[in-house]
Amino acid sequence: MIIRFALIAVFLLQLIPSFSQTGDVPLTNRYTIIPRPAQLDPRAGEFVINQTTIIQVPVAQTALKAIADTFANQINRASGLGISVRNVSKTVTSAPSMGSNSIRFVPVSDTALGGEGYRLDVTDKLITIEAAQPKGFFYAVQTLRQLLPPAVLSQSLFPELASLTVPACRIQDRPRYAYRGLHLDVSRHFFPVSFIKKHLDLMALHKFNNFHWHLTDDQGWRIEIKKYPKLTQVGSQRRETLVGHYDEYDPQVFDGKPYGGFYTQDEVREVVRYAATKHINVVPEIEMPGHALAALTAYPELACAPGPYQVATKWGVFTDVFCPTEQTFTFLQDVLTEVMALFPSKYIHIGGDECPKDAWRKSAFCQQLIKREGLKNENELQSWFITRIDKFVTAKGRRIIGWDEILEGGLSPNATVMSWRGTKGGLEAARQRHDVIMTPGQFCYLDHYQGDPAMEPTAFGGSLPIQQVYSYNPTPAELSPAEATHILGAQGNLWTEYISTTSQAEYMFWPRAVALAEVVWTPLAQKNYDDFARRLPTHFDRLAKLNVNAARTFFDAAPSGKATPGGNVEVSLTAGPQAPETRYTIDGSTPSGESPRYEKPLLLDKSATVRAATFNVRKPLSQLAKVQKEYLVSKATGKPYTLLTGPTTGRPDKNYALTNGTTASMGGYELSDVVSFTNDINAIIDLGQSQPVQSVRVGFLKYTAKNICLPKQVDIAVSDDGKTFRPVLTTKTNAAEGGKRGVVRLPFDFTPTTARYVRIVAQNIGQVPAGLRNPGKTAQLAVDEIEIN
């Protein structure tokens, strides 16, 4: 008996590591499931789906029958197998002697699974799916789809799928968080119902369960409200749209094209119905009290000033907001009544973010209201506004969600907070025992760049690579266990100021939303980025079969350069293990499978643009020529210099950045490899020894919307001893030049001479000239690189 017990104990200990699959233990290449299941026990063997396979569903289980039918149709469309779904009695479905080559749906009563959990048991003869609720079966099927070859997800027939294999395993799974969301802004740019449905399909595959639909904002009202037809007749249309970033041009440039679009109530009902089939809740957002310009254009009487107003044609925060009058509350309650009739969601999002108080401070009515209600200030007036809306929504049996600004002035008692300005708002709300959905910009704002901004589609700005998304833990360690229960989950947000097409929207969502799916589903202990990165290439194949324009920056080789003591630039190309080959060019051509393979850092002895792409046995992995960086080599490269005027603290000089050979990168509102100055630039470069010189070229940044101007004059002088300088050139430059921002490489040629030291003095104009965005403001100079030849 003791021996038998010891053998059983040894057997169980052998099972535990393979079943629990902790974060340090990677899944084998047979199981490329995303999000990673909570528990997976690998097994030898496989289940074969062929023409004899039957999916068995208990009789009278219509929800399960619908899930099984959809799964069978997907397989049949891609493979032509013609597998069938049959209703059988519950006793037959659960009978262990039931025939082989079946996929069984078996409802169970198991509190360990919760409403969304499931068990999936795969042997060579049978696949058994157990769950307590239809959601659990639905998510089990999403896992099963990912255990099959990626081609199964295609809309086209693949003859090679005449039989399909599912690797044997046992999975027990349930989500880490109850709220797993993705947000889409359709106000700045409008997206058709067909795209919304495709997006819901992708959300379902990754086990997201909440779609946050941002329907109204300053740039457009996108939902039909029967009682207020001018919201869509007027508020859904803007006369034109800003070109590029807010500060990209000085003056700003507009496209001159009317832009509009909205969803009818029937279309909204169709989206809500379709989402329900995917077990996705649709959370509508009606912005208030700020971001209301589209509504005020349609109904100016809802503002604090008479107007007229215009639907916003550019981005940003506007001071025209809803005035807290009885007329406004009647309007908003009417709107919300129609919205709640369309959306069965428990949650109604009412915005509450970025509400300037200027109009309220100027309004005699608002000031009287503050006194009458005993409020301290306009922040408390916003809280009073939100609380009133909260009471109305709560009386209808719903709950409000608001951005974390609704904390200002005191939080409405029933509100759920969506924390976007970092995690501080979420922490504060959870400590006040309010429910929280975490969506901090540094991890969850998918409108940020995910690769080199110079080579990426236009994005808002900032950097959010997929590794950073994956690293996020929505539950802050500072919270107590009781407080942590108020963290409902997390959400990825896509704001669309700079995203005008469905293709670009997909590019920004995927694959970063894949990483977020694992963040919100998989237990924290199971997360492992290296294992995730190993599973991701197969997932790219799935997304390709679904015709998703997924970004492939995951495979990109990141370039980095540094100047050498010998005056060259050494360029390294770093790619992850999922990109076994990196190939490059320096002659301006696009890298191909025949281009030189990167083996060691490149030593550039002349200026060149390095382009790189990654390959797997000469098959492209990254988008070709997506990695591209210009490096400058001159007599100044790697040489030390003295700055007689110090740079600003905002963009300081880091390790002789002006002669490191690396050009500036610019994307959104971000700048790198740039040094800025409030005063004149006065730099003396030591070439190390006397040598012939005849030209200087300086890369000045022109960004006049941010008060960075070209210099008004440049003086070049040379010296043999670093003390006595002789002038070789003085030239005027156009400090009043506006237009598109960018680096302007100004050449300064002079009569050939010999010198060791070169002094460059660039004179700051002092104040931004008239005719530019901010005339009279303090001007700056900024430089990325100095070349001497």
Task: Tell me the three state secondary structure of residue 621.
Answer: coil
For residue 325, the Cα-to-chain-centroid distance in whole angstroms is 37
Q: How many CB atoms lie within 10 A of CB 289?
A: 24
Torsion angle, alpha carbons of 171, 175, 200, 490, to 10: -150
Report how far residue 385's alpha carbon sits from residue 375's, in angstroms, rounded to the nearest whole number. 11
Whole-number Å distance between alpha carbons of 444 and 470: 10
Q: How far apart are CA 601 and CA 403, in angstroms?
A: 47
Alpha-carbon gap, residue 68 to 743, rounded angstroms = 58
- Residues 6 or more apart whose CB falls under 8 angstroms from that of 78 comprise 151, 152, 153, 154, 155, 156, 157, 158, 161
Decide if 305 contacts 365 (C-beta within 8 A).
no
Q: Encoding tokens for residue 512?
A: 């970063």
Contact 125, 100 (CB under 8 A): yes
Give the three-class secondary structure for 785.
strand
Give every strand in the sheet of 84-88, ordered side by side: 39-49, 164-173, 118-122, 126-131, 102-107, 54-58, 84-88
Whether the CB-CB separation of 491 and 349 falls below 8 Å is answered with no
CB 774 within 8 A of CB 705: yes
Distance CA 658, CA 684 (A): 11
Q: Which of 270, 338, 354, 380 is catalytic?
A: 354
DSSP string, 252-273: --B----EE--B-HHHHHHHHH
Q: CA 787 to CA 742: how far, in whole Å?
A: 18
Tell me the two tokens of residue 6: 């010891």
Please answer whether residues 476 and 423 qualify as being in contact, where contact means their C-beta atoms are separated by less than 8 angstroms: yes
The answer to whether residue 354 is catalytic is yes
Beta carbons of 699 and 683 less than 8 angstroms apart = no
Output the DSSP codes for 81-108.
---EEEEE-HHHHT-TTS-SSEEEEEE-
Q: How many residues can be counted in the chain? A: 789
Q: How many CA atoms lie within 13 A of 361 on its CB side?
A: 7
For residue 190, which of 322, 338, 294 has the smallest C-alpha distance?
294
Inter-residue contact 36 to 27 (CB < 8 Å): yes
SS3 472: coil
The alpha carbon of 402 is separated from its chain's Cα centroid by a whole number of angstroms, namely 20
Amino acid at 227: K
The two tokens of residue 207 are: 């086990």
Token readout for 745 is: 């490489």
Residues 6+ apart with CB under 8 A from 370: 376, 377, 378, 380, 381
Q: Is the dihedral angle over the CA atoms 196, 201, 204, 208 positive or is it negative?
A: negative
Beta pairing partners, 90? none
The span from the CA of 130 to the CA of 93, in Å, is: 11
Q: Which two tokens stand for residue 250?
A: 């000085």
Q: In angstroms, how far is CA 667 from the centroid of its own chain?
A: 15
Inter-residue contact 681 to 762 (CB < 8 Å): yes
Beta pairing, strands 259-260 & 237-238: antiparallel
Catalytic residue positions, numbered: 354
